[in-house]
Amino acid sequence: MSVKQLGLGAALVLLAAAGPLLGSSYHQSFLLQLFTMVALAQSWNLISGMTGYVSFGHAAFFGVGAYAGTLLIQFGFPWWLAIIKGSLIALLVSVPLGFLTLRLRGPYFAIAMLGLNEVARIVVTLWVDLTNGGSGITLSPSLLPSLTVNYYLMLALAVIATVIVAHVYYSRFGLELRAIREDEGAAEMVGVNTTRAKLAAFVLSALIPGAAGTVNVMYTSYINPSSAFDSALNIQMIVMVMFGGTGTVWGPVLGASIVMLLRELLWAQFPALHLMFLGVMLLAVVLFLPGGVISLFTRKQAVRPEVTASGGEPRG
């Protein structure tokens, strides 16, 4: 990662950190939701963007972490410990799921993940003695941190998720994952342990949603099966990553920021039609910018090697 990118990232974090000092509760809530989507989009990008294994059920780890954290807080654990344990429980759950589902490829993997999300939702709905079923669980505000604390917690998760993706992207591990995305058979032939690489990416991608699920519950103070295992959340992750740029470091950040801002602005102006407008814009990006919005910023750099290869003088 270049010095310019590091500087830009640091500036954005400092600007976001000043949010509670400069904005109202509404702005804090909006930015908190934005940070949530950045963290989730980056986690989806880590497995689906890097390896090409498209998951339609990544929200399952968000729900597992949310319910684990909620129950831990109810049982008397401090909220900060509930975040750690909730993320670790999501990680542990992902290990056997990864062994089972990553044997599948293409649409079979996507459908299997979607099915797992629905199975998890049904389990917590029927396990009434523990989860209170469809009625959900309401946490006492006295057990939870303030809005400002939740704000900084979710900001930290968004930053951590982005740093993890950046570290993976520029490492040998990231190169192996991208090789799997391009041609898994060829990657195996050159010595990449594809099973181990896919499982490591899958397990790592479950860690952040687990923590984000717990922090989200602390923000809303309520959870039920539909909100924890919401299929629409899977679609939002995919849309934001595709809008920004799949398999890149900054694409999910850019995509989540643009989509969340546009959704808020369009909802205020066109309450009944805002989703249609968003859909049209996403379609336009997919058709005319298959690399996502981030490709507008990287296209200039991508042209330079081509000029050199054709025999011309390298510029800059």
Compute the distance between CA of residue 256 and CA of residue 298 in angstroms, rounded to an integer: 18
Q: What are phi and psi of 312, to 5 degrees?
A: -80, 175
C-beta neighbour count of 145 within 10 angstroms: 17
What is the pLDDT, as a whole number, of residue 67?
96
Predicted local distance difference test score (pLDDT) of residue 283 = 80
Residues facing residue 274 across a β-bridge:
none
Q: How far is CA 313 from CA 301, 302, 304, 316, in A?
A: 15, 15, 9, 10
d(CA 230, CA 117): 8
Q: State residue 1's pLDDT score.
A: 66
| Spatial separation of the C-alpha atoms in residues 139 and 15, rounded to whole Å | 31
**Predicted pLDDT of residue 316:** 42
Count CB atoms within 10 A of the CB of residue 278. 17
Q: Residue 254's closest CA among 221, 220, 222, 296? A: 296
Summarised one tens digit per residue, pLDDT across range 160-207 is: 999 999 999 999 999 999 999 999 999 999 999 999 999 999 999 999
The answer to whether the beta carbons of residues 76 and 139 sit under 8 Å apart is no
Q: What percent of the chain has pLDDT over 90?
A: 64
Residue with tokens 């954005």: 12
Q: What is the pLDDT of residue 119?
A: 93
Can you give the pLDDT at residue 10?
86
pTM here is 0.89
> Quick one: which H or E segment has residue 122?
helix 107-126
Which residue ranges make up each domain of the chain?
A: 3-231
Q: What backbone torsions phi and psi does residue 66 show, to the nearest 5 degrees?
A: -65, -45
Provide the residue-wise pLDDT of the chain in tens; the chain has 316 residues. 677 778 878 888 888 888 888 778 888 999 999 999 999 999 999 999 999 999 999 999 999 999 999 999 999 999 999 999 999 999 999 999 999 999 888 889 999 999 999 999 999 999 999 999 989 999 999 999 999 999 999 999 999 999 999 999 999 999 999 999 999 999 999 999 999 999 999 999 999 999 999 999 999 999 999 999 988 898 889 889 998 999 999 999 999 999 899 888 877 777 777 677 777 877 887 788 778 888 887 765 555 544 444 445 444 4
Q: What is the DSSP string of 138-197?
A: E--GGGS--HHHHHHHHHHHHHHHHHHHHHHHTSHHHHHHHHHHH-HHHHHHTT--HHHH
Q: What is the DSSP letter of 47?
A: I
Supply 136's token pair: 């959900």
